[in-house]
Amino acid sequence: MAAQWFIWGWLAAVAIVFISAAAWLHPRMPERYVHVHVWLLLLPGAAAAAGWIGAGNAEAGPWRFDAVSWLVAVYISLLSWAIQRFAVRYLHGDRAYRRYFSLLTWTVSAASLTWASGDMRLVAVCWGLPLMGLVALTALKKEWRPAQFVARQMAVVFSLSWLAVVIAAVWLGTAAGEWQLASALSAERLARLDAWEKAVMNGLLILAAIIPAGQWPFHRWLMESAVTPTPVSAVMHAGLVNAGGLLLWRFSPLFHETWAHVALFLIAFASILIGTGISLVHVDYKRQLVGSTMAQMGVMLVQCALGAYGAAVVHLVLHGLFKATLFLQSGSVVPRVGRAGLRKTGSLWPGGIILGVLLGWAFWQAAPHEPARLLSALLLGASAAVAWGRLADFREGRWMGLAAVAVLAFGSETVRHQFLTLLGQGEATVFVPPAAFEWTVGVLFAMAALTAAWLANRRTSALAVRVYMHLVHLGEPRPAAMEAHPRYLASYLKEGMAHE
């Protein structure tokens, strides 16, 4: 009974935030109140942290919390506070200044409610609320045609994702005769489902997950989302695109068909290749971040495909904090005088390759029970090899750079391990992929890396040029999603002169 009070306390904190957002919309509310509202955003995070420490797994009515739910609630609260604190000055003077804060609060709070829901009907309803909040945030620039076009495209694909979750939830609840998510996903209830029913539900869950994650072939909306203001982009790329991994985690006992994991991997793998390529060939900083998000969400879904749901949750949290920082700092990315031109970088051979192989082998030996162990070892080794080639950029010298990278890698691994330990009780049922599937994944990643290295060394070849141009095309928005001249600024200027 005592554990339930932590849940009701968290819900009360969320209600206070909602009321504050509604009050801020009133035109008579003084503008300085925005500072009070921003600091109130920390209340749900504090309540969730207290529940995580003091309650653990808890249920109250349709709400159900475990370690992952508490963690996500803390993460969303801190993310919302940081982004809206940044937006206080960044958006100041915008016509929709008050509505931005209210919609940002609505969007992130609705996302928190989604992962606190223990009833599938509540999950189905809450899944689409933050997505529609993102559409409304994008559409706030009513004077700008590209923003309106992108908002309509987002509404279409997000509605498809929402519909897929509703169908899967209603179908599962009706077939299992139980609306509580944990009970409906028990082995006894799932045994009542026919194979074709599980297959269709798995397909719906994959569809619902890849759309907000901006995965191929639904990546176009993400590529065109650069029209949104920086705070909205930060919420989008650090929060809402991660929802697909959490959805698969919540429904993971149902998501146990091998074919479904193979299908999810193929979609995510294609997205990794496209997103990484876009981030490498485009020079626009914000578009580079968009391509990076697409690739990182692909990695997260590959982890889900290999049954490493705990690692996927840790990935999405750490990636979200990192990507939010990059977006909020995007305005400071200005080339320094005297630093223009090509940078001299080190070679991967032999030091980088030797270092990568040693680190990958060490991880393989040290983590025999790690889910997706082969993929993690390959990514760690490849990251070390690439980092070695970049150490020449350190003014203090390569070995000092190597020491810095080693310290950061050790710290990152420590944080990841501690997160996995904390999430141990809340981690979803583990899917153990066949060895052949895991090795196939590793071979495909290795082949992709070798192909990329081969193309990088033959940039003037016909194939490299074709790949380059194709990636540039994939990363470009459609004509309706961009504008050569911001005409709405001209209208602002005319209105200002008329008032004078």
Q: Which residues contact 211 (CB under 8 A, 6 or more apart)?
A: 157, 158, 160, 161, 218, 244
Q: Does the pLDDT at position 179 exceed 50?
A: yes
Whether residue 313 sits in one domain with residue 186: yes
Tokens of 257: 């068909």
Look at residue 410 and tell me if it is in a domain: yes
Look at residue 384 and tell me if it is in a domain: yes
Whether residue 360 sits in one domain with residue 269: no
Look at residue 312 and tell me if it is in a domain: yes
pLDDT of residue 346: 46
Q: Which pLDDT band holds residue 159 (cuts at 50, 70, 90)?
A: very high
- Rounded CA-CA distance 162/56 in Å is 30
Identify whether the C-beta of residue 214 lies closer than 8 Å to the C-beta of residue 153: no
Whether residue 370 sits in one domain with residue 316: no
Whether residue 396 sits in one domain with residue 252: no
Instruction: Judge residue 299's burial from the number of C-beta atoms within 10 Å of its C-beta, 0-12 exposed, 13-18 middle, 19 or more buried.
Output: buried
Domain count, the chain: 3
pLDDT of residue 497: 46
Q: Which pLDDT band holds residue 498 (cuts at 50, 70, 90)?
A: very low
Look at residue 191 and tell me if it is in a domain: yes
Whether residue 173 sits in one domain with residue 153: yes
Question: Of 106, 152, 99, 147, whose CA–CA distance to 130 is shortest?
Answer: 106
Whether residue 314 sits in one domain with residue 172: yes
For the entire predicted model, the pTM comes to 0.83
Look at residue 338 and tell me if it is in a domain: no
pLDDT, mean of residues 18-23: 91
What pLDDT, in 10s, does the model give residues 187-197? 888 888 888 88
What pLDDT, in 10s, does the model give residues 297-328? 998 898 888 888 877 888 788 778 777 777 77
Whether residue 439 sits in one domain with residue 315: yes
DSSP-derived letter for residue 141 is: -
- Domain range enclosing 193: 135-330+434-478
Whether residue 267 sits in one domain with residue 184: yes
What pLDDT, in 10s, does the model give residues 329-367? 766 555 544 444 444 444 445 667 777 777 778 777 777
What pLDDT, in 10s, does the model give residues 362-413? 777 777 667 677 777 777 777 777 766 666 555 555 566 666 666 666 666 6
